[in-house]
Amino acid sequence: MISKGMTTMAIKQINLKKVYTAIYQEKETSKLQLVQSLQMGLSTVSQNLKELEDQEFILKTGYLESTGGRRAHLITINKLARTSIGLGILKDCIQLVHVNLYGEVTHKQTHPIPYSDETPYYQTIGKLVQQFIEKNNINPDRLLGVSIAIQGIISSDGESVSYGPILQNDQLKRSTLAKFIPYPCRLTHDSKAAAYLELWHHQELDSAILLLLNENLGGAIMTHRKVHNGLQMRSGIIEHLSLNKQGPTCYCGSRGCLETYCSIHALVSQAKMSVPDFFEKLRAGDDHCQTIWKTYLTHLAEAIRNITVIVDGVVIISGHLAPYFNQEDLTFIQHYLKEIAPFPLTRENIILGIEGKYTPAIGAALYNIADYLKTMMV
């Protein structure tokens, strides 16, 4: 909004942002369409388009169909004007993704490198990031930074891991990673990064619960379109919900945590086979696999029941296992919830994430994109 007393320079900046925002939201537009939608003078729109084009923020990608006169240029955002890299650090591998200004993944890669809280490991990560950039012809001058999704609770200032029993990396500092990655670095909790990705994809979401079904389980809570952190950044750690006090021992020291029933580690340990092999046999009708899977879904539903009596929101099943779920699985969860929950979920309120094992890394990368867009849009 332009208010009385604003300087000419401030008004110009607002107009520039209005034009950029309109192009970003429309994805494809023309000069005349911008004039009409923004109710802005033709000369003002033209000046702003020239400035954006000179800075390579927008592109002319073709022409609109003629309506009888001169064909209008088709104007789009230059998706690669700024980009971001997400780095997922797990116990047995690292994942690298590159995303553009619309959050679209242009490149991704996994390296099977066991985690080690030692200098050589971080040196290797730095080299792999650089190789990823060079191999995929990523322009380093347009790279906003490298955002790191890691298994562990991150301190409120974003500077260190405050709780990291899985990787045994308590007190790992962001600055340690930044020594070997010559780009701005951000440190994020993998589950919260995954939740951020879902908020990006689902603009209609207000309140939601995320179940991150990876090698180790994770979770996050979203309220009013924000990831909830809590007093000490521990909100949403649903992997440590206790389902059975006499159950298996969890890495946290307690017994019967959801982690011990619904992580990939728990599933593979029981099935004695890899995830792809398990689901291939399951979908082929193998009785043993069906028994294991039904038990898995039952435990998952019990956890959802306990969470949704506290947080009234959509349930998002995300992470590595999400692409393996089918509609029958979701229907089983919904029907079981009808039996055990005081407030059963409708089928529409159980949704599947779409990015699979790369979810946390992509979500982490999106933090940089979102911060940048805040500077460009109104």
What pLDDT, in 10s, does the model give residues 260-307? 999 999 999 999 999 999 999 999 999 999 999 999 999 999 999 999
Q: What is the pLDDT of residues 84-117, one digit of tens each?
A: 999 999 999 999 999 999 999 999 999 999 999 9
pLDDT given for residue 70 in this prediction = 74
Query: pTM of this prediction?
Result: 0.95
For the cut 90, the answer to whether the pLDDT of residue 151 exceeds it is yes
> Residues 6 or more apart from 75 whose CB is under 8 A from it?
23, 28, 29, 30, 31, 34, 49, 58, 59, 60, 61
pLDDT given for residue 63 in this prediction = 83
Mean pLDDT value of segment 40-57: 97
CA-CA distance, 265 to 216, in Å (whole number)?
6
- The domains found in the chain, sorted by start residue, are 8-77 (1.10.10.10), 83-194+359-376 (3.30.420.40), 203-356 (3.30.420.40)
CA-CA distance, 209 to 241, in Å (whole number)?
14
Structure tokens at 335: 């029907």
Q: What is the pLDDT of residues 208-233, one digit of tens each?
A: 999 999 999 999 999 999 999 999 99
DSSP 8-state symbol, 233: S
